[in-house]
Structures are given as C-alpha cells and as structure tokens.
Amino acid sequence: MNFTLTKDQLHWQSAAHKFAQEVVAPIARKMDEECTMPISIIEKMASLGFLGGSVSKDFGGTGMDSLSLVLTYIELGRACSSVRGFMTVHSSLVMKCIEQSGSQEQKKEFLPRLASAGLIGCYALTEPEAGSDAASIKTRAEKTNGGYILNGEKIWITNANLAHLAIVFAKLPATEGAKPHSSITAFLVDTNSEGFIRTKMPGKELGHRASDHAHITFKNCFVPEGRVLGGENNGFKVAMSALDHGRLGVAAGALGVHQACLDTCVDFVRARKQFGSRIGDFEMVQAVIAEMKTSLEASRLLVYNAAWKKDQGENCTLETSMAKLHATEAAVEAANEAVLLHGGRGYSNKYPVERYLRDIKGLQIYEGTSHIQKIVIARQVIGK
C-alpha cells in the first residue's frame, strides 16, 4: 500500500477543503440552529463535481477513485456532518447502487441528472421494526398489470423530503420456507408518485440537524415494471453492497469530525491561560492531545486502507467495517474530550465542539451501529 496521494487525489482534497472551509464552515452553526441546508450548497457540490464523484464519466460522473471520494468526505465532515451525510447518501448509496445494479437504460436515465443535482436521491431501507435486521422489513410489493403496488412505511430516510428519486426495498410474496431476505426487491420510485407520502420526522434530532430526515408511507403506490433495480428478489444483495459504500463514507466523515475536534482543541489550548500558563503546557492536557492525535492517525490508516482495497477491486467488507467501527468510536472519544477540555465553553454553542459531539453520536448508528460492525468483523474473521 502506498498512501502517497496522487495529483488527482490532491486536487479533490484541495477542492473539497476550499469548499468546506470557505462555503460550508461559515454557515455550519446557522444550519444546525435552523435545521436546514440551503439548496445552493447542493448545487455547488454538483458544479464542483463532488456529487458525481462515485460514478464513471460515461454516466455524467467525475470518476473519482475511492480514496479521492474518501478525502472529499473527510473535508466535508470536518466542516459539517449534515453536508457530508447528504453527499454520502446521494452519491455512495443511491448513485453507486444504480451504477452497480442498474440496467443500461436506468443508468443513462438517472445517473447524469443525479450527478448534476437535477435529481436528488434517497435510499429507503429502514423501517420502524427493521433497522439493524434489514431482512425483517415489512413493506410489501405486489405484482399488478404493468408493474408493482407498494404498501408499507420507512423511517429516518435521509434526503427524502428533498428527493425526486428513491431506492425502495420491499418484499414480494415469498415462497414457502424461503429465507426472510430472499424475497426482498429494490425499486426505483418517483417520489411524486401517487401513494408516496412523506413527512418530516417528528422531534428535533440530537445531531445532524441540517439533514433532511423523513417518514415515508406507501399507500398503493404504483411502480412500473421497468423500475426494478437489480432484478426481482435480489434486493438484499443490492442493499448490502450499497451499505459497504455508505459505511466507508461514514468512516471518512467520522475522521473529519475527529480532525475538527483536534484542530479546535489545539487552537484552544494554545490560547487559553490558567494559573499563569497556557493550558497546553499542562501535562494532563498534553496527554489528551497526544491520544487524540494518535487515535486520529490510526483511524486514517484504516479508512485509507479500506479505500485502497476497494480500488484494487477486492472485497473490502472487513476493512470497511473495521474502519467504520474504529473511526466512529475514536471520534466519539475525541469529541467527549474536546467538550471537557473546553470546560464551560464546550457546553455551549459558542464553540463548535458541542455540535461535533452531537453529530458523531449519529455516525455510531448510521449504516450499521458499532454493535453490528463488531458482528460483521467477527463473522469475517471466524467464518460463518
């Protein structure tokens, strides 16, 4: 493995850093307080080529390699987890899923418009009784003349109130004795379809407050037969491959939050004085900074390694789960320490560390909780 960044990778890292620090960071606090993301942020990401980063130039994308995409996510996560979250869902879940599993007609129809933000996508898997156990989804699909009828509901679907296109997972009638996941099918659903009902999730999220999260209800929602993604009864495979992409994006986002915690803490301990000295000269504070930096670099190597293996065309499920587990848990610890180090200032929104702490808790959960990652890792190592 050679993690010396190429010219292209440095280009994407630099472009993402500039955008994140000059456009996103100045309004991150406002977006968090107002619980909204300006559409101009999304349009700018499209114009810079970020949204199309996950797919090839043949379908309107920018054809980034996995490490370039990871570097982009790190910089976005460093400024605002909600912006990074939008892009991960839109690009790594929706667009990559269509590129890998879609027909040529589906790719040509949707990918260029998704890359340009002419369409916004969402990924509808989670249900009230189906989170970590994706095979237990209850949304049903029934064949009808010319297509399918969907009935059921989804929750915590990121981007869904903004989205024009949803990848929806539902179960066709199963044969007797079939495994729970074997009848799951993925559908490409126009969100303006009759019977596609979406509302904002009730309550105020702990973190990722600028993200759009929706509750979707399907009431006899018709989907044309040409909108099956990846073939009937192959939905579970489609879903799991997409989650591998999403988990790498989450791991990179956690690395960005961790980096932001360290940056803020270093600035603070250099400037803050107590007992006649800057607090950065106190050994206990130095120990916190040393551990924060060391765990950050360990996370970086795990995330880069997962991206590198993906670029080699190898199965990277184990590496991606290890990266997500370590990067999120290390960033939670870093955010905890950042708030503590800032004292009373860290407990208010005068400093961004309280937002980092709220946001990183979500990354422990999204795309498979830390508990699920441990199961995935253990099964990969031990064997089923």
Which tens digits make up the pLDDT trace of 304-335?
999 999 999 999 999 999 999 999 999 999 99
74 & 140 share domain: no
**Beta partners for 140?**
151, 171
- Is residue 104 located within the same domain as residue 15? yes
Residue where one domain finishes, among candidates 120, 155, 179: 120
Are residues 263 and 372 both part of a single domain? yes
Pairing label, strands 165-171, 147-158 = unpaired
Task: Cite the active site residues.
Answer: 367
| CATH code of residue 83 | 1.10.540.10
Looking at the structure, do residues 184 and 242 belong to the same domain, yes or no?
Answer: no
Q: Which of 210, 249, 237 is nearest to 51 (CA)?
A: 249
Per-10-residue mean pLDDT of the chain, 384 residues long, equals 84 97 97 95 97 92 95 97 96 94 96 97 94 88 96 96 97 75 93 96 89 96 96 91 89 98 96 92 96 98 96 93 97 97 92 96 93 95 86
Give the H/E segment covering residue 165: strand 165-171
- The C-alpha atoms of residue 86 and residue 89 are separated, in whole angstroms, by 6
User: Looking at the domain assignment, is residue 139 inside a domain?
Assistant: yes
Tell me how far apart the alpha carbons of residues 82 and 44 are, in angstroms, rounded to a whole number.
15
Looking at the structure, tell me whether residues 283 and 374 fall in a common domain.
yes
Per residue in 328-337, pLDDT tens? 999 999 999 9
- On the 0-12 / 13-18 / 19+ scale of CB atoms within 10 A, 42 is buried
Nearest-angstrom CA–CA distance, 156 and 131:
10
Q: At which of 120, 155, 175 does a domain end?
A: 120
Helix (H, G, I), strand (E, B) or coil at 102: coil
What CATH number does residue 126 fall under? 2.40.110.10
- What global pTM score does this model have? 0.94
Residues 73 and 24 in one domain: yes
Collapse the DSSP code of 274 into the 3-class scheme (helix H, G, I; strand E, B; otherwise coil) and give the result.
strand
From the CA atom positions of the chain, what is the Rg in Å?
21
Instruction: Answer yes or no: do 157 and 89 share one domain.
Output: no
